Structure 1
Amino acid sequence: MSRMLLAVPALLPIVGGVVLLIMNHFKGNAVFRYRGLALFVEGITLVNSLVIGWLIVHKAGTGEQMVLFKLYGDLRVMFSLDGLGSVFAGLIAFLWPLAVLYSFEYMRNEERQTVFFAYYLMTYGVTVGIAFAGNLVTLYLFYELLTLVTFPLVLHPMTKAAVRASRKYLYYAIGGAAFAFIGIIFVLNFSTTGNTQFVPGGIMDAVAGQTRRGTLLFVYVLAFFGFGVKAALFPCHGWLPDATVAPTPVTALLHAVAVVKSGAFAVMRLTYYSFGTALLRGSFAQYIVMGAAMVTVVYGSTMAVKEIHWKRRLAYSTISNLSYILLGTAMMSPLGLIAAMSHMVFHAFMKICSFFCAGAVMHQSGKTYVYELDGMARKMPVTFACLTIASISLAGIPPFAGFISKWNIAQSAFDCGRILSGAGNGGYWLPYAGACVLLYSALMTAVYMFTVLVRAYFPKEGTVPGGDVRDPNWMMLVPLLIFAGVIICFGFHSVPLMKILWAIGGKAG
């Protein structure tokens, strides 16, 4: 019976969202008073997060599995919770209730509120399904479902820009899924277990790895880019800046945890738990994916400096920072996985805080461009104090959390260079180039984040905005303050978390 609980965090929000859609279809949006809708959604979200927390404490790493149903033969849709899944699930469980609370105020005067929160709730369940996936088939199933439940959220404004952005997102996601599916087929055919279940160190057959290594490496690159579409890997990134037309609660979760982190998480699974680093390390496949990640880091941070639309600037920042995670993953070592996991966690708090600050300014003042922010810090001091903390951390300035994860990635780059050099591999210089890319990106991050702060705190004389502009109410401020506080806490006291990540990375790398 206790095993059945492994399915609850994925299925409960999905069922709750479906109930909302059914009631809305038959009785119309007016059937829900906004307060009742908010209590229903927040109630399910909080219960689900508590269940996830209980499962992480009592079930993580026990090896327990729950088979939801069988597709064919050994192809099973199953849930399990290991170390890596616990990190992702814990991150989701912490962020989602706060994001929902923020959304209630942001969406108060919007249309189609019931439909919005139905898909918002279902996205929670689908994302948890990715974290709890016990094999590659289950991960792929929920990965595809994630596209279906987030597509209506991007489309929600129903403007021409939203229609174009949602179509673009759909095309990219479907194309990426096709490449990822190729990887699943090869993992299934050449695995030692006869299925796609996740095993630390990978499941690829050693004989196949020697006789058909070139083919397997090529397929890995295809699958890396396939899953990398949701992680906005260049040149598959184009959907992400356009998706900022969605309401800020959507874009924040797209960029902080739901979609882009699911793509990065899937790449970690593919690399460390399916193909395995023993097969990949020192190969052309490693160099290709490492090079792609570095190109994306440089491209994203450079484009962010040029962008004047605030949310699109943050979108390009996400493109850059997600490839930090992919870069750490591409080091294909225990330290690389640890670095990738640490940035996955820290970036989530930094980016959701940044987006929610931008959303608060847009909600209160209607300002969407960087050049419109002169003097806004005087009108919204709490919002911009939180943005300042997130900006400093994103730039990687100690002692904030962003410095720790970037330091870990740089260390993993030097460690990878030493490993490749010791093996006599001529590509040992590439990880060192990755460390240089991190320095460049840190500089660009400081430029595109601090220019916003300089305008907000030090406007030209006579440019302080007029009107009744102030910080939003507690439903929007509380999440901001909590996120800022977590960023500071992780910066000063990250040792407990890093010990957990070391225990996970040491087994899988």
Structure 2
Amino acid sequence: MNGNAIMLFPLLFPLIAGIIIGFQKQEKQRNLLVFITIAIELAVVVYLAGGSNTLVVWQMTDRLSLAYHTDGLAKFFAVMICAIWLLAAVFSFEYMKHEHKPARFFMFYTMALGALMSLCFSSNMVTLYLSYEYMTLLTLPLVIHTGTVEAVRAGMKYLGYSVFGAGLGLMGLFFLNSYCTSTSFVPGGTLDQGLLGGNGSLMLLIYFLMMIGFGCKAGMFPLHAWLPTAHPVAPSPASAVLSGIITKGGVIAIIRVTFYLVGADFIRGSWVQTALLTLAIITVFMGSMLAYKERLLKRRLAYSTVSQVSYVLFGLMTLHPIGFVGALMQVVFHAVAKNILFLGAGAIIYKTEKTYVDQYKGLGKQMPVVMWCFTIASLSLIGIPPTGGFVSKWYLAQAGLDPAYGTLGLVGVAVLMVSALLTAGYLLPIVIDAFFPGKDFDDTKLEKKEPNYLMTVPLVLLSAAVLAFGIFPGGLMQWILNISSVIF
């Protein structure tokens, strides 16, 4: 082992703390341990973001190792994930009172954060693959937590799709090890034309299969079906992080393989770029249409994730600096907004046990804070200023309008616009029914059902972030531009 040993802390600390939390039966002590663990994790990640660290844990061969480093991309994802993970945990302290075995939930919830940090800070493809599988195994208990037949089936579907997708990534690793000078992540890529020889067409096919595999976790067609099955059956805090954060695990893997191993220049203008842009466009439209038709709120939000994360994939597959900026902006704003929506859905279920969208008339009077936060997140997903979602979608559209993409770029932008309209169609009616139930609706007998501060404070803080980054996007934009400038 060499380098900076502090790199191991954000990877191992949640794992060890999670095991201790699992044996803590006292609710207050357990919640305090969870909060302190994630807060310390966030503080350490912020500290690591201020420097450059590298740690080789295990040198397997001269080309393969288990190693970690802190580059701009790793810091970006790690800080975002820890901040949201902490707020969702605070919400969970109240929500999990009506779920069985909360200690088990918080054990795996805390341990999963360590897997995500391992994924973020992975220095090479071997480490990323192991972390990716580690993340799947530790989030599976969150999906099947309720123990119902439906939850177990959904969990097995989640596991099957995830392992198959990761398997495609592992297959690609064998080829990358042969055709790259190194499987370590280097901006611009390490693919060597001399080693590749006449196997360029084969490498394009392998890269395409890897993108399909890692696109599974991101909810991209055709391996998207696990997502609308798994999210509705999990406890709402788990649904929130599965949708807002875990899907970004696939995005991290796609970025690393595309821009740090294979290289954008190798893919640009090929059939693979066209195919992946097409799949992203299809997924954006399909997810929006399915969400529009769905009546169960959590499944509607899950289909929305299928659509919204593919906005990110569309931006990445333009292989354009502006598209890359738009994609990472969308990563942040989708993660924040979708956590608000799923946590809001959880608050509604916790206080009213209502799960279908046609049951929410008058909720704006009963739960005004929750529904105002829900409204802000909805506006962001649609892309209405001054919310953050407008900023990310603006840059994605700018990238798609580049003449280099021709008709496909125009189709992509058109689908983004149609998807925005569909998003308005499946989210705004919920808001309208909540605040304007109609003159025939008697709201005089409605009782206040606002949840306590453990639920409302995280929602308010996340909603404030949506507005703050929408009005003042400069700091976040500069951070992303710094990452982009290294790659392009």
- TM-score class normalised by the smaller sequence: over 0.9
| Post-superposition offset of 1:477 | 0.5
> 1:89 aligned to 2:89?
no
Q: Distance in 2 between matches of 1:68 and 1:19?
A: 24
1:69 alignment partner, SS class: strand
- Larger CA deviation: 479-488 vs 331-340: 331-340
For 1:180 and 1:138, how far apart are their aligned partners in 2?
A: 12
Q: Do the aligned partners of residues 466 and 363 (structure 1) sit closer, same or farther apart at CA in structure 2, a change above 3 Å counting?
A: farther
Q: Is the Cα–Cα contact under 8 Å of residues 374 and 463 in structure 1 kept in the other structure?
A: no
Other-structure match for 1:51: 44
Alpha-carbon distance in structure 2 between the residues aligned to 1:464 and 1:72: 70
Question: For each residue in 1:138-172, what CA deviation from the matched residue of structure 2 results, as whole angstroms up to 9, or x when unmatched?
Answer: 11111001111011111100011101100111111
Q: How many residues align?
A: 485
1:464-484: CA deviation from partner (whole Å, max 9, x where unpaired): 495645111000111000011
Q: Distance in 1 between matches of 2:128 and 2:57?
A: 13
Counterpart Cα distance in 2 of 1:137 and 1:463:
61
Q: In structure 2, what is the Cα distance between the partners aligned to 1:201 and 1:309?
A: 44
Kindly state the Cα deviation for residue 20 of structure 1 after the two structures are TM-superposed.
3.6
Q: Match of 2:473?
A: 494
Contact 1:102-1:476 within 8 A present in 2 as well: yes
2:244 maps to: 256
The percentage of counterpart residues that share the same residue type is: 38
Q: Is the 8 A contact 1:365 1:469 kept in 2?
A: no
- Deviation digits for residues 480-505 of structure 1 (CA, Å, limit 9, x no counterpart): 00011000001100011111211211
Q: Which amino acid aligns with 2:430?
A: V
Residues 216-261 of structure 1: CA distance to partner in whole angstroms, max 9, x if unpaired? 100001000110110011121111111120000100000011x201
The 1-side partners of 2:308 and 2:445 are apart by: 35
How far does the alpha carbon of each residue in 1:358-412 deviate from its partner, in whole angstroms, 9 at most, with x for none?
A: 1111111000000010111110001111111111111001121001000111111
Question: Structure 2 counterpart of 1:483, which letter?
Answer: L
**Partner Cα distance (1:90, 1:365) in 2:** 34
Shift of 1:336: 2.1
Kept in 2: contact 1:172–1:236 (CA 8 A): yes
Tell whether the 8 Å contact from 1:374 to 1:464 is kept in structure 2 after alignment: no
What's the CA shift for 1:74? Answer: 2.5
Shift of residue 209, structure 1, vs aligned partner: 4.9
In structure 1, the gaps of 5 or more residues are: 25-30, 421-427
Match of 2:258 in 1: 271
Task: State how far apart, in whole Å, the 2-side matches of 1:122 and 1:105 are.
Answer: 20
The equivalent of 2:234 in structure 1 is: 246
Q: Alignment partner for residue 390 of structure 1, among 377, 383, 394?
A: 377
Deviates more, 1:354-363 or 1:64-73: 64-73
Q: 1:319 and 2:298 equivalent?
A: no
Corresponding position: 1:14 with 2:15: yes
Give the letter for the 2:137 counterpart.
Answer: L
2:206 alignment partner, one of 205, 212, 219: 219
Q: 5+ residue gaps in structure 2? A: none
In the TM superposition, what is the alpha-carbon distance from 1:207 to its structure 2 partner?
A: 2.8
Tell me the residue number matched to 2:30. Answer: 37
301-310 or 346-355, which deviates more: 346-355
Residue 109 of structure 1 deviates from its aligned partner by: 3.3
2:318 and 2:88 mapped to 1: Cα distance?
33
The one of 116, 119, 139 equivalent to 1:127 is: 116
Q: 1:190 aligns to what?
A: 179
Using the alignment, how far apart are the partners of 2:90 and 2:48 within structure 1? 24
Closer, same or farther in 2 for the Cα pair 1:265/1:115, shift >3 Å? Answer: same
**Does the residue aligned with 2:60 lie in a helix, a strand or coil?**
strand
CA contact (8 A) 1:268 1:337 kept: no
Counterpart of 2:410, as a letter, is: Y
| Cα distance in structure 2, aligned partners of 1:350 and 1:465 | 31
Alignment of 1:353-372 (within 5 A): 353-372=340-359
TM-superposed deviation, 1:15: 1.4
Correspondence for 1:424: none
What residue is the counterpart of 1:139 in the other structure?
128
CA distance in 2, matches of 1:18, 1:145: 15
Q: How far apart, in 1, do the equivalents of 2:460 and 2:21 lie?
A: 30
Q: Contact 1:13/1:121 (CA < 8 Å) preserved in 2?
A: yes
Is the 8 Å Cα contact of residues 376 and 465 (structure 1) preserved in structure 2?
Answer: no
1:431 Cα offset (Å):
1.9
Structure 1 residue aligned with 2:5: 4
Distance in 2 of aligned mates of 1:69 and 1:431: 44
Q: Distance in 1 between matches of 2:444 and 2:350?
A: 15
Structure 1 residue aligned with 2:223: 236
State the 4+ residue runs in structure 1 displaced beyond 6 angstroms. Answer: none
Distance in 2 separating the partners of 1:240 and 1:331 = 25
Paired letter, 1:402: G
Match of 2:323 in 1: 336
CA drift of 1:208 comes to: 4.3
Report the CA distance between 1:267 and its aligned residue.
0.7
Alignment of 1:195-206 (within 5 A): 196-206=183-193
1:3 is aligned with what amino acid? N
Deviates more, 1:350-359 or 1:294-303: 350-359
Partners of 2:197 and 2:218 in 1: CA distance: 30
**Inter-partner Cα distance in structure 2 for 1:247 and 1:406:** 30
Shift of 1:333: 2.1
Distance 1:321 1:364 in 2: 28
Kindly indicate whether the alpha-carbon contact (under 8 Å) linking 2:3 and 2:54 is maintained by their aligned counterparts in 1.
Answer: no
What SS class does the counterpart of residue 219 from structure 2 fall into?
A: coil
Q: Quick one: distance in 2 between partners of 1:128 and 1:136?
A: 15
Distance between the aligned counterparts of 2:277 and 2:414, measured in 1? 13
SS of structure 2 residue aligned to 1:79: strand
- Contact residue 178 and residue 195 of structure 2 kept, 8 A: no
Q: Aligned to 1:192, what secondary structure does the other structure show?
A: coil
Q: 1:374 touches 1:465 (CA, 8 Å); kept in 2?
A: no
Q: Distance in 1 between matches of 2:60 and 2:250?
A: 24
Task: Tell me how far apart the structure 1 counterparts of residues 205 and 190 of structure 2 sit (CA, whole Å).
Answer: 17
Other-structure match for 1:27? none
